Structure 1
């Protein structure tokens, strides 16, 4: 996620998968907050909202950085060509978040606004949330469909929950087990409570949080149960069984992220898919034997989306729309970083091999597959 130098959101997914349930301790459901128009939807079929995640980070180079012109083109494609009805706008930088949210609302999309500032002091994270939340409330009062997520997987992003002076050290401590699970769970609950309080103080629509699958959250603080879902199963029935426990809280379930990378076997690797890229090399290199497969990515997204539809979950956001810093190199597979990307479009360098090259994107099979499914359900 943007705001965490040196490690991308995709690499964080692997960390979440790697430490699994190590910090999952019962947090209970006390302090149940009043829902804002909150209704349980688990008796119905079909999702209420279908969309995609759109990240607004600064980017690694000027040619891949967020800018208004590029963002507007992306949002237009999400609404017109992907046939999504929703977009989760996430990352850091209030100006980038709010400009993108405004454009999405203008295009008639439901906006899921999620400030995700990481690796800075707690107060800064909460202030960033408050400022973004106030803008979300203004959009909501103007008639836009808006949800607010108070953040994403705090155990990874917020200093002080897990030991470590910076995000890389915290990641290493999680992977090595150098942390106290009980203390970590207590700290996580404390910060999540603070974030929910800040969110409620500035925003009066539906509130949620993007939790890792094994992160135990007091969902009484929120209107929606929000999860980042990267599991793989061979059968639809397995997904239904895996997802069923999230319904026990009696609230609508929002899948805040789901997806996989772009190679054979990527669905089985789930949150560890990014690990086919060796970032210790310069330039980064794909591990030997990995075979690109847009079909594998598309099949996974449509299969898991079918499970969400069958369960009548509230929403599902495919992760992610574009990864401009992970270009596709058709004639150079060892450096085809798009294979380790979760994006549903592929970034193409205008001048391959030129560090200053501009970029554009082209849809992958996953984009077309989602567009067909989203378009069909919108017509029904």
Structure 2
């Protein structure tokens, strides 16, 4: 494995030992005990917002997750989300304000609710605040048109993505600092909450709809009193749904609607158990990524997991849930080249077949996986 690749699972295991994050069993002490059901917070009523996450291009280490991009390409995919997937909400994220607003406008025009999240790695705090202001102003214009709800997501995982909270010049240095274990967690939390409060202040000044934040549920202790909605990236796996209830209960004490901004798994047998670390099966040690032979492509496993989790969130009475993610052009499907079929390690509902598989800028077509059809049936039924 390339040393530049960060093993999030290893980091979290180390962080638990250091007290940086809590285990499931101690989550109640970290966030507070669960309270009674509130409107949009508890009680089986089904999901109001039935969504999917959509990446319009996220920059990381100079790369763009969507090298090939056009308004027409995006519009066709958004149309499929509405007409074929039967979603009524799209969770749009990415680094470009122009692409965010293009996509959000198209989603809104199609009659779906939209949440907008500017997402960048290693963006200086001043730049992140300026970008959020630009997005908030544009999102408010879109909101004032009326129609489906527009929600502003001020960002996600600031402790790892944003400089100035945890020491380190980039994402990797910040993770290395945390895993070294020599830090003052109270001071890090103070900086995290101070920056979060600044982002909320900018959002509130320029946007008058509901706001939330994309929190790693197992990593960040967010002051949800600042937000209208508790927003979670939730990749846990439990055989017993009651264990999900136990793990999610602490977030109820805020008495606010809960929105799952991300959940899901990759496309191989055993992927649900690996949750958000499914991508880590890829061997990057050679000149091109390789899927080790023990991982078997399994679209049914992914489909069943997504529907099971939608049932969990509906039973919890959450406001909504959007699985991660609609499409991953940076992880192409190579049906006749199994060792290099990167889609096996992709979370997407669609498999992407590039005209030139080695070229990220190549034209592509997409085909729905079994998970796409399973989610579409669930959304149509509910």
* Structure 2 length-normalised TM: 0.88
Q: Does 1:46 align with 2:85?
A: no
Change in 2 beyond 3 A, CA 1:272/1:180? farther
Q: Does the CA-based 8 Å contact 2:133-2:206 persist in structure 1?
A: yes
Q: SS state of the match for residue 285, structure 1?
A: coil
Q: Does the CA-based 8 Å contact 1:63-1:359 persist in structure 2?
A: no
1:221-251 alpha-carbon deviations (Å, 9 max, x no partner): 0001111000001122222222222111111
1:118-166 alpha-carbon deviations (Å, 9 max, x no partner): 3121000011011101111111111031011100111111012222111
1:290 to 287, 290, 295: 295
- Find the counterpart in structure 1 of residue 68 from structure 2: 65
1:105 to 108, 114, 117: 108
How far 1:270 sits from its partner (Å)? 0.9
- Find the counterpart in structure 1 of residue 264 from structure 2: 259
- Find the counterpart in structure 2 of residue 168 from structure 1: 172
- Find the counterpart in structure 1 of residue 95 from structure 2: 92
Q: Does 1:340 align with 2:354?
A: no
Change in 2 beyond 3 A, CA 1:178/1:368? farther
Change in 2 beyond 3 A, CA 1:331/1:174? farther
Distance 1:348 1:104 in 2: 24
- Find the counterpart in structure 2 of residue 138 from structure 1: 141
1:69-108 alpha-carbon deviations (Å, 9 max, x no partner): 1100110000100000000110111100000000000000
Q: Which structure 1 residue ranges, 4+ long, deviate > 6 Å from structure 2?
A: 25-29
Q: SS state of the match for residue 86, structure 2?
A: coil
Q: Does the CA-based 8 Å contact 2:262-2:321 persist in structure 1?
A: yes
Distance 1:263 1:20 in 2: 28
Q: SS state of the match for residue 326, structure 2?
A: coil
Q: Does the CA-based 8 Å contact 1:14-1:275 persist in structure 2?
A: no
Distance 1:62 1:272 in 2: 18
How far 1:359 sits from its partner (Å)? 1.5
1:183 to 183, 187, 191: 187
Q: SS state of the match for residue 273, structure 1?
A: helix
- Structure 1 unaligned blocks of 5 or more: 1-5, 30-37
- Find the counterpart in structure 1 of residue 20 from structure 2: 23
How far 1:61 sits from its partner (Å)? 7.7
- Find the counterpart in structure 1 of residue 248 from structure 2: 243
Distance 1:42 1:201 in 2: 30
Q: Does the CA-based 8 Å contact 1:151-1:209 persist in structure 2?
A: yes
Q: Does the CA-based 8 Å contact 1:57-1:65 persist in structure 2?
A: no
Q: Does 1:370 align with 2:375?
A: yes
Distance 1:24 1:42 in 2: 25
Distance 2:53 2:7 in 1: 16
Change in 2 beyond 3 A, CA 1:109/1:347? same
Change in 2 beyond 3 A, CA 1:141/1:239? same
Query: Cα RMSD over matched residues?
Result: 2.5
How far 1:272 sits from its partner (Å)? 1.1
Q: Does the CA-based 8 Å contact 2:43-2:315 persist in structure 1?
A: no
1:199 to 182, 190, 203: 203
The count of residues paired between Structure 1 and Structure 2 equals 361
1:36-84 alpha-carbon deviations (Å, 9 max, x no partner): xx95442452111010000111685898422211100110000100000
Q: Does 1:211 align with 2:208?
A: no
Distance 2:244 2:93 in 1: 26
Single out whichever of 272-281 and 289-298 deviates more from structure 2. Answer: 272-281
- Find the counterpart in structure 1 of residue 125 from structure 2: 122
How far 1:203 sits from its partner (Å)? 0.7
